[in-house]
Structures are given as C-alpha cells and as structure tokens.
C-alpha cells in the first residue's frame, strides 16, 4: 500500500468514523448562537477542543475535518490542533472548498468553488499537518433539478480537487451531497444519487485519481424530508446499498456517509441497518457533523462548567455510531450507553 492508501484505510478503519468539525465561521456562528453562546475565535476553538479531547475519542473517531481557522489554532496547552489530534490517535483533515456559489445560467443551482490556488493551499495545509481533505458539492432535487449541467460541473470540480490532493499526498474526501430537503420520493433520491455518483466516478477516472486513495462521502438515499411517504429504516438501507453497488467501484476503500440533517438516532439507525446487510465491498462508515455535534453543543451552551456534560454527550453519540459501524446499534443503546 502507498501512503494514500494507508491513510484512506485508517480513515475508514473498523469500528471508527470521522468527525466533521469543519463548519465555516458563518455556519458555526449560527450554531453557537442557537444555543445562546457567543461566536468568537476562542469559543469556536474551545468547543472543538473539548470534542476532540473527550476521553477515549481516538478509539471511535479515526479523523477530524478542520476548518482553516481551527487548523491554525492550538489547544489550551499551546499544542497546535493537528498535533493535538495526532497525539490522541486521530488523523487531521481540512476542508478546502471555498463554498457554494450560484451556477451561471442554472436558476437556483450551485457550483462549489475553490480550485484557484488550490495546489499552493494544499501544500501549506500539508505542512500544517493535514493528511486528508474535504470538498463538498451540493445538488438539490426539484421538479427539473439537478440539471445534467449542474451534475457535470460539480463532478468535474470534485475530480480536479481530488487529483490535486493526491498529487500533494493528501487523501481526498469526495463529497457529492444530494440534499435531503424536498418532497421527493426515495425512488427519486435513488435515481439522482446514482446519476450523480456515476458522473463523479467517470470524472475521477478521467482525472487519473487513484480510487484506492479516496474516501467517498455521499448522502444516504432517503425520501425528502417533506415527502408524505417516509420509508422504513430497512428501506433506506436497501435503496442506499443498491445505488452504491451500481455506481461505486469496489476499489474504493470506504464510504463515510454525511448525516444531512437526520435526527441523531436515525443517522445511527440507518448506518447500522446498512452495515447489518453485510457483504459490501467497501467499509461503510460515517463522517457526521450535526449528528455528532448537536447534542454536545446543546449541553455545552458556551459554559465551561458544562464541559464534562458536553463530552459525555459527544462520547455517547460517537459510541452509538461506532456500534452502527458493525450493525449493532439499536435504539435501546440510547439509554444503555448513557447509563
């Protein structure tokens, strides 16, 4: 195995998953203010520090995606964040896209930007300690969307990013997110997710990306949150696996799902049901933001006195999802693990 393959394998190691803590300052400000905490460089730093220094986090969290501000910050003892993570057994990663912008000529659709100067930024992030990166493309389902044009430009950008990452010795997390908002059925989500993944893999191959050295971060296949017919947990698992089997080459070492606004419990239940089917050619893991952070953020609420309670809430969610990695999550664990 070369270094990229080794890192990718570590990121999706058995029983572990990735913590996405790479919210931009704008998004993090909204999340902090929603729990009554001020958003300053230090409150953002402190919340992320308390998550990653949760005792035992390294047993269930393989890597942490950081934002540009955080990768340049240090823990309370002055140790730079990437070194804090390495010391605790977690791989430092970095979000490198610069966000979604309106796509010219495609009303309401977006393209993810950040390719200009990316080679130089990756070299700097590598020197700061990052061993993997993330780029998120966003597709939304509507009457006539996503358009073929929107899928194509986003897939192309993801592939250019992935090739540049591998050139820099950094494992790319390739994230084409089909949003779960909307009234669409699970069948429509399956069709759009498959079309998107096919386009992404065609571009990755054209761009000579080593599939063994990436991690795919897709959405699960759900019905839109506003769809009156909501599928069972089993149906989500079946549709998600059917789409992945059709569109994702077996050379990819691992698939780490985003949570996408699902409740904490459903994000764990779906991942568990997906793993319980068994016999998949890839590791089936998680790279959750909200589904790992919402509970600890609420418990912390910006108050240092609540730090231990926040860490307990984080540990609980991480352990539920670690169980789900092996198909062993059940709603009963919500109480059993917390006790």
- CB 16, CB 292: distance < 8 Å: no
Exactly one of 48, 270, 290, 317 binds ligand 13P (CB under 6 A); which one?
290
Q: Where are the alpha helices (DSSP H) in 35-146?
A: 41-52, 57-60, 68-71, 81-87, 118-128
Which residue among 95, 109, 217, 283 is the active-site one? 217
Residue window 108-137: x/- pattern of binding to ligand 13P, with contact defined by CB under 6 A: ----------------------------x-
Shortest Cβ 274–ligand 13P spacing (Å)? 15
> Has 217 been annotated as catalytic?
yes
Closest CA to 253 of 222, 279, 215, 288: 215
Q: Is 53 left (phi over 0), alpha (psi -120 to 50) or beta?
A: alpha
Q: Give the pairing type, strands 171-178 and 215-216.
A: parallel
The DSSP element (H or E) to which 47 belongs, if any, is: helix 41-52
Tell me how far apart the alpha carbons of residues 54 and 303 are, in angstroms, rounded to a whole number. Answer: 16
Q: Is 336 exposed, middle or buried (0-12, 13-18, 19+ CB in 10 A)?
A: exposed
Residue 258 as a binder of ligand 13P (CB under 6 A): the answer is yes
Shortest Cβ 36–ligand 13P spacing (Å)? 20
- Identify which of residues 30 and 208 has a Cβ nearer to ligand 13P in the complex: 30
Across 187-259, the runs of DSSP E, i.e. the strands, are: 215-216, 254-257
> Has 334 been annotated as catalytic?
no
Residue 63 as a binder of ligand 13P (CB under 6 A): the answer is no
Q: Which stretch binds ligand 13P (CB under 6 A): 72-80, 222-230, 252-260, 271-279?
A: 252-260
Residue 185 CB: number of other CB atoms within 10 A?
Answer: 16
Exactly one of 20, 57, 111, 247 binds ligand 13P (CB under 6 A); which one?
20
182 three-state secondary structure = coil
Q: Taking CB under 6 A as the criterion, which residues in 146-175 touch ligand 13P?
A: 175
Q: Which residue is nearest to ligand 13P (CB)?
A: 289
Tell me how far apart the alpha carbons of residues 244 and 227 are, in angstroms, rounded to a whole number. Answer: 22
Residue 47 as a binder of ligand 13P (CB under 6 A): the answer is no
Shortest Cβ 261–ligand 13P spacing (Å)? 6
Which residue among 23, 49, 175, 315 is the active-site one? 175
Catalytic residues: 175, 217
Q: List contacts with ligand 13P (CB under 6 A).
A: 20, 136, 175, 258-260, 288-291
């Amino acid at each position: 195995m070369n270094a990229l393959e080794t890192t990718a394998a570590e990121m999706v190691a058995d029983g572990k998953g990735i913590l996405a803590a790479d919210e931009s300052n704008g998004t993090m400000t909204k999340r902090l203010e929603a729990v009554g905490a001020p958003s300053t460089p230090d409150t953002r730093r402190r919340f992320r520090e308390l998550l990653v220094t949760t005792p035992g986090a390294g047993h269930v969290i393989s890597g942490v995606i950081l934002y540009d501000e955080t990768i340049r910050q240090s823990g309370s003892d002055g140790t730079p964040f990437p070194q804090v993570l390495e010391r605790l057994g977690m791989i430092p990663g970095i979000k490198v896209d610069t966000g979604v912008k309106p796509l010219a000529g495609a009303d309401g659709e977006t393209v993810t930007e950040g390719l200009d100067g990316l080679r130089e930024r990756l070299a700097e992030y590598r020197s700061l300690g990052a061993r993997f990166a993330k780029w998120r493309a966003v597709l939304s389902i509507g009457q006539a969307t996503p358009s073929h044009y929107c899928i194509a430009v986003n897939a192309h950008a993801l592939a250019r990013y992935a090739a540049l990452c591998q050139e820099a010795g950094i494992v790319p997390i390739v994230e084409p997110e089909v949003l779960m908002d909307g009234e669409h059925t699970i069948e429509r989500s399956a069709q759009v997710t498959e079309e998107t993944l096919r386009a992404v893999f065609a571009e990755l191959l054209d761009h000579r990306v080593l599939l063994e050295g990436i991690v795919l971060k897709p959405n699960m296949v759900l019905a839109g949150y506003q769809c009156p017919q909501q599928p069972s947990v089993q149906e989500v698992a079946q549709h998600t696996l059917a789409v992945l089997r059709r569109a994702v080459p077996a050379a990819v070492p691992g698939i780490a799902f985003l949570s996408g606004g699902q409740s904490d419990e459903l994000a764990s239940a779906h991942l568990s049901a997906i793993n319980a089917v068994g016999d998949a050619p890839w590791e089936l893991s998680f790279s959750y933001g909200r589904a790992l952070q919402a509970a600890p953020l609420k418990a912390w609420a910006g108050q240092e006195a609540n730090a231990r309670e926040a860490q307990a809430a984080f540990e609980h969610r991480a352990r539920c999802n670690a169980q789900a990695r092996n198909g062993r999550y059940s709603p009963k664990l919500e109480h059993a693990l917390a006790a």
